Amino acid sequence: MVEPMKTPHKVVIVGGGFAGLYAAKALGKSGFDVTLVDKRNFHLFQPLLYQVATGTLSPADISSPLRAILNRQKNTRVLMGEVIDLDPQQQKIILRNGELAYDSLIVATGVSHHYFGNDNWAEVAPGLKTVEDALEMRRRIFLAFEAAEKETDPEKRRAWLTFAIAGGGPTGVELAGAIAELAYSTLKRDFRNIDTKETQILLIEGMDRILPPYDPKLSAQAAHSLERLGVTIKTKTLVTNVTEDAVTIRQGENIESIPARTVLWAAGVKASSMGEAIAQRTGAQLDRAGRVIVEPDLSLANYSNIFIIGDLANYSHQDDKPLPGVAPVAMQEGQYVAELIQRRLQGQAVTPFRYVDIASLAVIGRNAAVVDLRFVKFSGLFAWLIWLFVHIYYLIEFDNKLVVIFQWGWNYFTRKRGARLITGEESLLQLGIDENGDYYAPSGDRANVVTTHT
Amino acid sequence: MVEPMKTPHKVVIVGGGFAGLYAAKALGKSGFDVTLVDKRNFHLFQPLLYQVATGTLSPADISSPLRAILNRQKNTRVLMGEVIDLDPQQQKIILRNGELAYDSLIVATGVSHHYFGNDNWAEVAPGLKTVEDALEMRRRIFLAFEAAEKETDPEKRRAWLTFAIAGGGPTGVELAGAIAELAYSTLKRDFRNIDTKETQILLIEGMDRILPPYDPKLSAQAAHSLERLGVTIKTKTLVTNVTEDAVTIRQGENIESIPARTVLWAAGVKASSMGEAIAQRTGAQLDRAGRVIVEPDLSLANYSNIFIIGDLANYSHQDDKPLPGVAPVAMQEGQYVAELIQRRLQGQAVTPFRYVDIASLAVIGRNAAVVDLRFVKFSGLFAWLIWLFVHIYYLIEFDNKLVVIFQWGWNYFTRKRGARLITGEESLLQLGIDENGDYYAPSGDRANVVTTHT
C-alpha cells in the first residue's frame, strides 16, 4: 500500500556498517523518514582494521563519523544508541533507553568473533572487530618486542618473539603478512638485545589450505608469498587451547604446545545478539553461527517488512553455500533492500537478491596480494595494485580518507610505521634492570644477565 | 677527568620529551654509553595535543616511536621503564623493576596538570598532558553534542552545549578556538534536534588578560580573534568549584555557578614526582610548583653530575622570571647539557645556559594566530602561516609526520575533521527514545518531547 504523503514511511536501520550505511545512503532520495541507529558514532572500514592493529594506520584513518556521511540527507537521522530487542507485532525496536517505531526494519548488526565455546580464550587471544580490539592487538604486538628486548632467558624470549595467528582467512593472512614485515623490516634496527629477525610467525588454519573460500591456485600462491616473507603455515591444524604463554595445536593425532606470548584470533565468527532476539520474536531460523536465515528478498518468512542484511544474514543462492561475510555482499544487500522497499510501496515487482561477485582480494604484504576476478586469477605486484586501488576507491567514497593514500605512500617508500605507539592501560614490563642497564629475570638471578655493551 | 676508552662515560636520560630527546640526539656522536628511559615507547609532540583532543589529528600523527628516532645512534639504548627514585651517592636511578648506574644523569620528566589542591576535579575536568588525556577530552567533547541532541529539557541541553575551559594560556586559547570551529562550522549540519551554533564556549583566566606571558598587544588581538569566533572570555576570574554539571567562578566579589557538562582543565601544572625524589635525595630546592631550582649550568648545587632540564627545571636568567615550560626552552636545555658534559670531560670551560628566545606563538583558529618575534609582534593570517611553518618544521624533524601537513591541508579546504570517533569505555547516553524516535527525559515525562519530523 502507498502511504499518504503527510506521514512518510518510517525506515529504521540498525547498524552503521557497510550493509546499514549503504541502505541508508540508497534511501537518501526516497522521501522516507529514515533513522540509522548505531552504538558508535562512526562507520568503520573494517577491511583495513588489521593495518591499525599492526601500526600502519590510526583508527581515525579508517573511520568516518556517521553524522558527517549522512548530514546532507535531510530525511535521515542518526541516533547513537544500543538496540537490545524488537517487537514485530507493534513494529518497534527496543533500545536500552527507549524504543523506536518502524514501518520497515533493516537489521545489520553484523557478527563478533567466536571462540568455539572457549570464551576464556578471549582474554589471551584478542579478535579483530572493533577499534578497541585493534588497539589492543597493537599494544600486545609492540609490547611483545619490548618484553623480548628485556627478557634474558632464551626460552622465554623466544616465546615473546613467537606470534600465533589462529585462522587462515583474509584477516589471518593479512595479519601474518603485516607482522612479518614489522619484524623482518620495520623494527630490525630498533632493538639492542634482540634480533627481531628471529621472530616466529605461525598461521594456523583448520582446512587443508589458507584462504579456503578462494581458488586453490590462489591459496597456493598466497601460501608461497607468506612463506617467502618468513611466515610458518600450519594447515589441517586446530587450536585446542590458548594460555597466557602457549598455544596448543592438533594436527591429526599429533598434539603440540608451542610457547607463544602473543596469540591473535582470526578464526570463527558468531552472529551479534540481535540474531537471538529476532529468532525469539519472529520464529526466524538461525544457522550454526547464529546468523538469520532469510528469504530470497532478504526479508523474514513471517515478517516481510523486516530485513536482515550484511554478516548477520545467512542467504544462499540456489544450491550454493551461504554468501561470505565480506563488504561487497553487505553493500549490495543494503542497496538491494533500499530499492526493494521503494518498489514495493510503488506496487512494483521485485526480483530475488543476487550477489554480483566481481572479485575476491587478499593482501599478503608489500607488493604481494591475490586477486580472483573469476575470469582471471593472479597474484603478485599487479594483484597488489588492484587491492590498493579497490580499497582506496571505497575508502575515499566518504571522502575524508585521502590521507590514507598519503600514509601508505609514505610507509611504502620509507618502510616506516607511523602508528606504533603503545597506549591505553599503562603496562610496565615485569623484568628487572640491573645497575649496568642490563636486564635480569625477576627471580633476581644475575647469572643469566645479557650485556648489551659493545 | 677523561675516561679511559674501554668504559665509556655512562649518561642516563630520564624522559623522552623535547628536553630528554634533544639531549639524547645531541649525544649521538659523543662516544658515551647513552640510555634513554621512558614509561612510553614514543615521543609526543605535545604542542599539537589539543588537535587530537578536538578531532583534527590522531595520536599517531603527533607521536614518534623513540626507538625509531634513535635507532641509528649505535651508542644509544632505549629502555621502556618507570623511574621512581635515585641514589646520588651510588650514582644509580631506581626503576620500578630494577636500577641503572650513571656517570651523568639528566632528568627531564616534565610536569603534569595541577588542580590547586582540588584533585577531585580531575574526575570532571580532564587536563591535557598525555595521549589518553586527549582521547578522553575528545570523547567528552563529542559525547556532549550527542547528549545535547538527545536532551529535551532546554536547561539541560544548554548545559551540554556549554564548554568551560579553565586557563587562558596557549593550551586554553587553542582549545577554545578549536571547539569554536567544531561547533560553529564543522558540526553545524550534523544534528537534527540541536543547533550547534547555540554552543557556549567560556575561556576562564585568573589574570587580567589571556596569554599572560605574551605582549599585552598580542593578548588583546588574541582575545579579539577568539571573541569573533564566538568564545566568551572571562579574565580576572577564578574557578572555585567544578562538578559534573556546573563550574563555579569568582570574579572579584561576584560568584557565579554556570551549568556546564564539559569543563576542560588548562590551568595549573605541577612537577612530576621525580622532583620530590630529587629534593629528598640531593637537598635540592623546589619552587611552589615543585620544579627543581637548578644552577646556571642546569646541574644541582650538590651534585654537578645531575642535570634537570625541561619543564621540571626552574631556571631564571639573572633578575628574570623562570623560563616558561615550552618546547624551545626544553630543546635548547637538552642540547646545552649534552654539549656541557662533553666539554667538561675534555676539561673545557662552560658558560651558563642562556635561552635564546626567538618567538612566542599561539594559534587561535583558521587563519588566526599571534606571533611575537620580539623585534616585531603581529597576528592574523601571516602569524598563522608562521605558526603552521614552525610546527611542521619541528614535527617533520622526526620525519614520519608529513601526513599531518596533508591532513591539515585537507581539513583546511574541506573544513572537515577526520578524527571525530568516540572510542574507549562504551558510554551509552542515558536519555530515552520514544516510539517516534523522539527523545524524552528518563523521568519518562512525555510532555516535553521534541519532535524532529519536518
Model confidence at A178: pLDDT above 90: yes
Please give the grid coordinates belonging to residue A139.
599494544
Radius of gyration of chain A, Cα coordinates, nearest whole angstrom:
24
Q: Which pLDDT value is given to residue B202?
A: 98
| Residue B416 pLDDT grade (very low, low, confident, very high; cuts 50, 70, 90) | low
Sort out which chain B residues have CB atoms less than 8 A from A417's CB and list them: 65
Residues of chain B with CATH 3.50.50.100: 119-267
Please compute the mean of the pLDDT values over residues A84-90 and round it to a whole number. 96
Asked if A410's CB is within 8 angstroms of B400's CB, the reply is: yes
DSSP state string for A333-352: HHHHHHHHHHHHHTT---PP
Nearest to B171 by CA among B64, B313, B53: B53
- At residue B48's C-alpha, the angle toward residues B42 and B52, to 5°, is 85
DSSP state of A207: S
- Residue pair B7/B100 in contact by the 8 Å Cβ criterion: no
Taking the Cβ of residue B99 and every Cβ of chain A, the question of whether any pair is shorter than 8 Å is answered with yes
Segment A202-209 shows an average pLDDT of 97
Residues of chain A with CATH 3.50.50.60: 10-39+81-113+270-346
CATH number of A119-267: 3.50.50.100
Q: How far is A392 from chain B (nearest CA, A)?
A: 16
Check pLDDT > 90 for residue B153: yes
Q: Which residue has the cell 573469476?
A: A374
The per-residue pLDDT for B424 is 63
Q: CA-to-CA distance for B163 and A376, rounded, in angstroms?
A: 58
Which region among B58-67, B236-245, B360-369 has the lowest average model confidence (pLDDT)? B360-369
> If pLDDT is split at 50, 70 and 90, which confidence band does A381 have?
confident
* Domain A10-39+81-113+270-346 classification at class level: alpha beta
CB contact under 8 A, A72 and B96: no
Q: Which amino acid is at B167?
A: G
Give me the residue label for grid cell 595549573: B268
Which chain B residues touch A433 with a CB distance below 8 Å?
79, 81, 95, 97-100
**Cα of B185 to nearest chain A Cα, Å:** 12
Bridge partners (DSSP) listed for residue B238: B250
The conformational region for residue A164 under phi > 0 = left, psi -120 to 50 = alpha, else beta, is beta
CB B144 within 8 A of CB B261: yes
User: Is B32 part of the contact surface with chain A (CB cutoff 8 Å)?
Assistant: no
Catalytic residue among A149, A151, A174, A205: A174
pLDDT at A49: 93
For residue B378, give Cα distances in angstroms to B168, B356, B367, B386, B394.
19, 20, 13, 11, 22
Mapped to the 3 state alphabet, what secondary structure does chain B carry? CCCCCCCCCEEEEECCCHHHHHHHHHCCCCCCEEEEEECCCEEECHHHHHHHHCCCCCHHHHEEEHHHHHCCCCCEEEEECCEEEEECCCCEEEECCEEEECCEEEECCCEEEECCCCCCHHHHCCCCCCHHHHHHHHHHHHHHHHHHHHCCCHHHHHHHCEEEEECCCHHHHHHHHHHHHHHHHHCCCCCCCCCHHHCEEEEECCCCCCCCCCCHHHHHHHHHHHHHHCEEEECCEEEEEECCCEEEEEECCEEEEEECCEEEECCEEEECCHHHHHHHHHCCCECCCCCEECCCCCECCCCCCEEECHHHEECCCCCCCCCCCCHHHHHHHHHHHHHHHHHHHCCCCCCCCCCCCCCEEEEEECCEEEEECCCCEEECHHHHHHHHHHHHHHHHHHCCCHHHHHHHHHHHHHCCCCCCCCCCCCCCCCCEECCCCCEECCCCCCCCCCCCCC
The Cα A264–Cα A281 span in angstroms is 35
Q: Is the pLDDT of residue A400 over 70?
A: no
- Tell me: the pLDDT tens digits for B235-249? 999 999 999 999 999
Asked if A97 and B431 come within 8 Å (Cβ–Cβ), the reply is yes
CA A330 vs CA A74, A211, B103, B452: distances in Å: 24, 20, 63, 30
Closest partner CB to B99 (pick from A33, A430, A435)? A435
User: What pLDDT sits at residue A360?
Assistant: 80
For chain A, what is the mean pLDDT? 86
Q: What is the pTM of this model?
A: 0.85
- Out of A68, A99, A418, closest to residue B400 by CB: A418
Q: How many CA atoms lie within 13 A of B208 on its CB side?
A: 3
Task: Return the number of CB contacts < 8 Å for A and B.
Answer: 200
**How far is CA B198 from each of CA B188, B194, B228, rounded to the nearest angstrom?**
10, 8, 15
Closest in A39, A77, A402 to B192, CB measured: A77
pLDDT tens, A307-333?
A: 999 999 999 886 678 898 889 999 999
Distance CA B266, CA B417 (A): 22
| Most confident option among B211-220, B257-266, B268-277 | B257-266
| B403 interaction partners in chain A (CB closer than 8 Å) | 403, 406-407, 410, 418
Q: Are A153 and A442 in contact (CB under 8 A)?
A: no
How far apart (Å, rounded) are the C-alpha atoms in residues B355 and B358? 9
Q: Where are the alpha helices (DSSP H) in A33-130?
A: 49-53, 66-70, 121-124
Higher pLDDT residue, B238 or A450? B238
> Strand pairing of B368-372 and B360-365?
antiparallel
Of the two residues A16 and B113, the one the predictor is more confident about is A16
- Does the beta carbon of B396 lie under 8 angstroms from any beta carbon of chain A? no
Question: CA A45, CA A52: separation in Å to the nearest integer?
Answer: 11
CA distance A437 to B33: 10
Question: What SS3 state is found at A145?
Answer: helix
The B residues from 425 to 444 touching A (CB cutoff 8 Å) are: 426, 428-437, 439-440, 442
Half-sphere exposure of B306 (CA within 13 A, CB side): 27
Sequence-separated (6 or more) residues with CB below 8 Å from residue B339? B26
Amino acid B61 reads: D
Inform me whether the pLDDT recorded for B417 exceeds 60: yes
- CB interface of B with A, residues 115-144, below 8 Å: 131-132, 135, 142
> In whole angstroms, what is the distance from residue A51 CA to residue A138 CA?
9
For residue A238, count other CB atoms closer than 10 A to its CB.
Answer: 17
Report the chain A residue with the minimal C-alpha distance to residue B55.
Answer: A60
Of A392, A36, A92, whose CA–CA distance to B190 is shortest?
Answer: A36
Q: What local confidence, expressed as pLDDT, does residue B397 receive?
A: 64
| DSSP letter (8 states) at residue A47 | G
Q: What is the mean pLDDT of residues B23-39?
A: 96
Q: pLDDT > 90: what percent of chain A?
A: 62
Question: Looking at residue A414, what is its pLDDT?
Answer: 65
Q: In whole angstroms, how far apart are CA B21 and each of B17, B28, B294?
A: 6, 11, 20
Going by the DSSP 8-state scheme, the letter that residue A187 receives in this structure is: T
Judged by CB atoms closer than 8 Å, whether chains meet at B40 and A422 is answered as yes
B151 residue type, one letter: E
Using the beta-carbon criterion (under 8 Å), do B39 and A426 form an inter-chain contact? yes
What's the pLDDT at B454?
26
- Between the CA of residue B113 and those of A123, B178, B244, B273, B449, what are the distances in Å? 34, 20, 19, 12, 41
Q: List the catalytic residues of B.
A: 174
Would you state the pLDDT for residue A403?
65
Task: Compute the distance between CA of residue A115 and CA of residue B232 in angstroms, rounded to an integer.
Answer: 54
DSSP state of A366: T
Give the nearest chain A residue to B57 (CA atoms): A60
Residues of A in contact with B148 (CB under 8 A): none
Cα–Cα distance, A158 to A144 (Å, whole number): 10
Alpha-carbon distance A453 to nearest alpha carbon in chain B (angstroms): 8
Per-residue model confidence (pLDDT) at position B268: 82
Cβ-based contacts of B192 with chain A (< 8 Å)? 77
3-state secondary structure of A137: helix
Nearest by CB: A452 against B12, B77, B435: B77
Instruction: Identify all chain A residues contacting B452, using CB atoms and an 8 Å cutoff.
Output: 77
Q: Which of A109-113, A124-128, B1-5, B205-209 has the lowest mean pLDDT?
A: B1-5
CB < 8 Å to A400, chain B: 410, 414, 416, 418
A403·B401 Cβ contact <8 A: no
- pLDDT(A304) > 70: yes
Closest alpha carbon to A5 in B453, B191, B436: B453
Residue A338 has pLDDT above 90, yes or no: yes
DSSP β-bridge partners for residue B46: none
Q: What is the pLDDT of residue B361?
A: 81
Using the predicted structure, report yes or no on whether residue B197 has a pLDDT greater than 50.
yes
Cell of B263: 569543563
* Nearest alpha-carbon partner for A165 in A156, A174, A157: A174
Higher per-residue confidence, B92 vs B403? B92
| Whether the predicted pLDDT of A386 surpasses 60 | yes
Could you give the CA distance from residue B47 to residue B239 in angstroms, rounded to a whole number?
24
Average pLDDT, chain B: 86
Least Cα separation, residue B40 to chain A (angstroms): 7
The answer to whether residue A442 scores a pLDDT higher than 50 is no
Measure the CA dihedral A82/A84/A86/A92, to 10°. -30
Confidence check: pLDDT of A417 > 90: no
Are A434 and B61 a contacting pair at CB < 8 A? no
Helix (H, G, I), strand (E, B) or coil at A215: coil
Mean pLDDT of all residues in A357-384: 82
On the question of pLDDT at A28 being above 50, the answer is yes
pLDDT of A406 strictly over 90: no
Crossing angle of the two packed helices A170-181 and A216-229, in degrees rounded to 10: 20
Q: Which of B65, B100, B420 sits opposite A65 (nearest CB)?
A: B420
Q: Touching check for A406 and chain B: CB below 8 Å? A: yes
DSSP state letter for A253: T
Report CB contact under 8 Å: B403, A401. no
pLDDT score at B281: 97
Query: Is the Cβ pair A58, B63 closer than 8 Å?
Result: no
Better pLDDT: B35 or B411: B35
Report the pLDDT averaged over residues B118-134: 92
